[in-house]
Chain A
Amino acid sequence: MKINTLLYTGKQGFVNIFKNKWYSMASIATIAACLFLFGLFYAILVNFQNMVMSAEEGVSVTVFFEEGTTREKMEEIGEKIKGRVEVSETVFTSADEAWAAFGPDYFGEDYQEGFPENPLAGSDNYEVFLSDVSMQSALVTWLESIPEVRKVNYSEVTANTLSGVNLLIAYVSLGIIVILLAVSIFLISNTVSIGISVRKEEINIMKYVGATDFFVRAPFVLEGIIIGLIGAAIPLGIIYSIYNYALNYMTQRFTMLNSLLKFVSVDEIFTVLIPLSLALGVGIGFIGSFSTVRKHLHV
């Protein structure tokens, strides 16, 4: 393949977009609409996941020890707990630290008066934070099997609810993504197909004159890729503006939400969304044009 031929087919790809501007616009609009929905859904989904994750991070299991367990033994058990895959963090609180934190809240600054001994003696504990709440019951079973462990405090309802929500989000998002992609591919391949079928005659002429499949296909495929890129870039710009605006509006208008809900920053969303949308746009444009031209090549 000579460089002149490559340049010529490349130039034809660009020229075709302007020559068939109505078809190009219809294809760009279809891709843009589909990827807009996809991007919007992705942004919402990531925020949901982020909120569930923050809630999960707060879920902990508290481990209390049998009376007489030495500090060294507790630390040894603490190391073992830390080594578990389902554990993200452990915080040790001794009985003295617990009393020092609890006492002033309930009895004021003079909380030690009337209590010659620490009333919380024996409450040395590890607060164990989980990396995955769905693994809580496995961790609890293991903790309860340790002879030095007296009691394990945990909330089964919270863990189950959170892992249930997580699972639901995963299923719903998978379902919506599959439906969105299927609808997108159907709509886009129809648009591309109509656009190329109109130019079937042009393909036939090329084939009669002796053009190779590559020579015929290359401009169409390049055209499909460019349309896909533009179709992906437009919704990215729109989503960027909408998301930024919504984020600012929510954080300024509803300041109390800031401590409750943690929104994902626009940069974080777009680090994934830009390559994903562009890849989808290019992929859809490429596959759509490649497969449709293929149908007309057997002349």
Chain B
Amino acid sequence: MTRKEMLKMQREEMIEQNGIIYLDNVTKTYSTGVPALNGITLSIGRGEFVFIVGDSGSGKSTLIKLLLRELKASSGNVYVMGHDLAKLRHRKIPKFRRNIGVVFQDFRLLNDRNVYENVAFAQRIVETPMKDIRRNVPAILATVGLAGKYKAKTKQLSGGEQQRVALARALVNNPSILLADEPTGNLDPKNSWEIMKLLEDINANGTTVVVVTHNREIVNAMQKRVIAMRKGVIVSDEKEGGYVDED
């Protein structure tokens, strides 16, 4: 067995034992000295759909940044897809991120390119052959309901449509995990529900979905696992929970 195969097997064992995302007593302190996350222990299994809720300053965004390895934990261990992120070298980060789809509240699209190019961009990065890109991009655009708008510039689209493009870009490389940071924050209720429906479908196909949100209505209606955070600690973690108010 090669070293590469051994490492892959170890990662698979890690995922089986602790979940696809596992935080072990993680603390993250910024230069101000106040911990944004304080001793968090959390496990998310493969194929789960999880809401992370909490007010501003609760540590949700820091948690997403840790999972993307944009930040390093001050103490404790973060494991994502079996990778110990503290040991992940800078040059290995791009390859690691290619297995994580990410969607933001402000869409973060390349506004000088059209819909097709925004989605194809994610495939170009992983050096997908051109003929596969030509097949995959229209297919994923059809999945998110934008088949007819592939030539449109992103600025010509509504907020809901822009978020669908972002979703298509996040999904086109078949990631194991989808992180959505306030994906409905800039959308009206109709579009918000449509996006959530898409996320549910994606999850039904086996992708682990982690949604950070403030949207009480959606959280309460969907009856998924809800992890509530406050001031850097997890205050509740319920299997089919609802939105937890800050009192």
Contact = CB atoms under 8 A, between A and B. Distances in A.
Interface in A1-32: 1-2, 4-5, 8, 19
B112 A209 contact: no
Contacts of B122: 209-210
Interface stretch (B21-29, B91-99, B138-146, B186-194): B91-99
B125 A4 contact: no
A210 B108 contact: no
B102 interface: yes
Interface residues of A, number: 21
B108 A205 contact: yes
Contacts of B98: 209-210
Contact of B124 (A8, A205, A299): A8
A88 interface: no
Interface stretch (B9-17, B126-134, B231-239): B126-134
A41 interface: no
B95 to A, nearest CB: 7
B121 A209 contact: yes
Contacts, number: 51
A66 interface: no
A208 B125 contact: no
B247 interface: no
A215 B124 CA distance: 10
A255 interface: no
A204 B65 CA distance: 13
A211 interface: yes
Given A19-B112, A201-B108, A204-B108, A209 B97 contact: yes
B244 interface: no
A299 B126 CA distance: 18
Interface string B64-76: 0000101000000
Nearest to B108: A205
B169 interface: yes
B127 A2 contact: yes
A205 B112 contact: no
A202 interface: yes
B110 A205 contact: yes
A201 B107 CA distance: 11
A151 B227 CA distance: 104
Interface in B165-190: 169, 173
A207 B129 CA distance: 21
A298 B108 CA distance: 17
Given A19-B112, A210-B97, A215 B70 contact: no
B94 A212 contact: yes
Query: Max chain B CB contacts within 10 Å: which of A5, A202, A204, A210?
Result: A210
Contact of A210 (B110, B112, B126, B130): B126
Given A2-B127, A4-B127, A201-B108, A210 B94 contact: yes
* Residue from B68, B94, B98 with most neighbouring chain A CB atoms (10 Å): B94
Nearest to B104: A208
Contact of A4 (B95, B96, B112, B129): B129
A12 to B, nearest CB: 10
Nearest to B129: A4
A211 B94 contact: yes
A204 B68 CA distance: 12
Nearest to A8: B124
B127 A5 contact: yes
A152 interface: no
Nearest to B179: A208
Contacts of B110: 202, 205
A13 to B, nearest CB: 14
Interface in A240-272: none
A8 B124 CA distance: 8
A209 B102 CA distance: 8
Given A201-B108, A209-B102, 18 more contacts: A4-B124, A4-B127, A5-B124, A5-B127, A202-B110, A206-B125, A207-B97, A208-B97, A209-B122, A209-B169, A210-B94, A210-B96, A210-B122, A210-B125, A212-B91, A212-B125, A213-B94, A215-B94
Instruction: Give the 3 A-B CB pairs with smallest separation, nearest first.
Output: A210-B98, A210-B97, A212-B94
30 contacts: A1-B127, A2-B127, A4-B124, A4-B127, A4-B129, A4-B130, A5-B124, A8-B124, A19-B112, A201-B108, A202-B110, A204-B108, A205-B109, A206-B121, A208-B68, A208-B97, A209-B121, A209-B122, A209-B125, A209-B169, A210-B94, A210-B95, A210-B125, A210-B173, A212-B91, A212-B94, A212-B125, A213-B91, A213-B94, A298-B90
